[in-house]
Amino acid sequence: MRFVVYLPLLATGFAAVGGPWLAARLPARAGLWTVTGGVVAAAAGSTWSLLLLVATLVDELPGWERESDPEPVPDAVAVGCAAVLAVLCLRAATAVHRRRRLYREVRAACPAGPGELVVLADDEPRAFALPGGSGRIVVSAGMLRALTPPQRRVLLAHERAHLHGRHHLLLGAADLSVALNPLLLAARHAVAFCCERAADESAAAEVGDRALTARALAVAALAGAGRPHDLGFGDHAVLRRVTALRSAPPPGRPVLVLAAAAVCLAVAGVEFDATVDFARLLATLLSG
């Protein structure tokens, strides 16, 4: 097979570096979709390349090998890719199972009842959006005590934005991508940051006060400092988020979005070319 099959593996570096870079420069919602798309495209591309490299072992099957034909890929490379792919698939299955189990456990721990708001009798400050059905907002009594009434409106608007934006699906896609390609971890953090920024901007628009939103974010972050956020929504780069809220929203940069889309399309084109290359190899083996 030609060298193009390896190019999507190299594209991982562009996503790992470009994801955080784009997250810092694009408007929140545009950055969220652009970075998530890049992460998913990079993970899908690298996984498909590994699969194609492993599939070249087909020429080792009984009755298929032909001494006159050169090896499409050295067997050592194909076997190594098979081992790596097996480990990555196991990581992906584990990540999916762990996330589903976490959501089940959290839903079971939340008291049943009507309405979107669930207040936990817990002095530890915490708040998170719980997807599923129409979605629910879970807030502890400790967090409510830490905030003023206007700040509570901001908190609820922020968590509601997570639910309406289906941010758990985007974070889940990013988590799965990192399981399949651990080199994308920095880009996954960028996706989480963009989720929070998108929710911040939505909350600021709903309450109509960016300064109030920034204060509420800072107070909530200080109140819940040191607590893990297992559902994936948390205090990602709070200082950067507060600074962003105290400034005007960044201008739209369609050129950056189009450039990122072009890279994703290029990866898809390279994968298509590599797949056609493998199909020709398979046809040659079948014809022999």
Give the residue numbers spanning the domain of 122.
3-287
Residue-level pLDDT at 64: 58
Residue 272: CB atoms within 10 A of its CB come to 12
- Mean pLDDT confidence for 179-193: 95
Band of the pLDDT at 198, cuts 50, 70, 90?
A: very high
Per the model's pLDDT, the better-predicted residue between 1 and 89 turns out to be 89
Name the percent of the chain lying above pLDDT 70. 90
- Mean pLDDT confidence for 124-149: 89
Band of the pLDDT at 4, cuts 50, 70, 90?
A: confident
Mark residue 226 as left, alpha or beta (left: phi above 0; alpha: psi -120 to 50; beta: remaining).
Answer: left
- Mean pLDDT confidence for 129-139: 86
Instruction: Look over the chain and give the mean of its residue pLDDT values, rounded to a whole number.
Output: 87
On the question of pLDDT at 143 being above 50, the answer is: yes
Residue-level pLDDT at 204: 96
* Closest-CA residue to 28 (of 214, 163, 222, 192): 192
Which residues are within 8 A (CB) of 15 and not within 5 positions of it... i.e. 6 or more apart? 38, 39, 41, 42, 184, 187
- Mean pLDDT confidence for 222-241: 65
On the question of pLDDT at 194 being above 90, the answer is: yes
pLDDT digits (tens, 9 = 90+) for 10-32: 788 888 999 999 999 999 999 99
What is the C-alpha to C-alpha distance for residues 213 and 15, in angstroms, rounded to an integer? 31
* Closest-CA residue to 194 (of 147, 244, 259, 120): 244
Band of the pLDDT at 90, cuts 50, 70, 90?
A: very high
Which residues are within 8 A (CB) of 121 and not within 5 positions of it... i.e. 6 or more apart? 140, 141
Residue 253: CB atoms within 10 A of its CB come to 16
Residue 99: CB atoms within 10 A of its CB come to 18
Name the percent of the chain lying above pLDDT 90. 55
How many domains is the chain partitioned into structurally?
A: 1
Q: What are phi and psi of 178, to 5 degrees?
A: -70, -35
What is the C-alpha to C-alpha distance for residues 155 and 144, in angstroms, rounded to an integer? 9
Which residues are within 8 A (CB) of 240 and not within 5 positions of it... i.e. 6 or more apart? 24, 193
Which residues are within 8 A (CB) of 93 and not within 5 positions of it... i.e. 6 or more apart? none
What is the C-alpha to C-alpha distance for residues 109 and 106, in angstroms, rounded to an integer? 5
- Mean pLDDT confidence for 45-73: 76
On the question of pLDDT at 225 being above 90, the answer is: no
- Mean pLDDT confidence for 188-205: 95
21, 54, 56, 73, 274 from 59: Cα distances, Å: 43, 11, 6, 10, 17
What is the C-alpha to C-alpha distance for residues 263 and 193, in angstroms, rounded to an integer? 22
Residue-level pLDDT at 106: 83
Residue-level pLDDT at 40: 96
Three-class DSSP labels, 211-251:
HHHHHHHHHHHHHCCCCCCCCCCCCCCHHHHHHHHCCCCCC
For tokens 């994703």, what's the residue? Answer: 264
Residue-level pLDDT at 2: 65
Report helix, strand or coil for 1: coil
- Mean pLDDT confidence for 1-15: 79
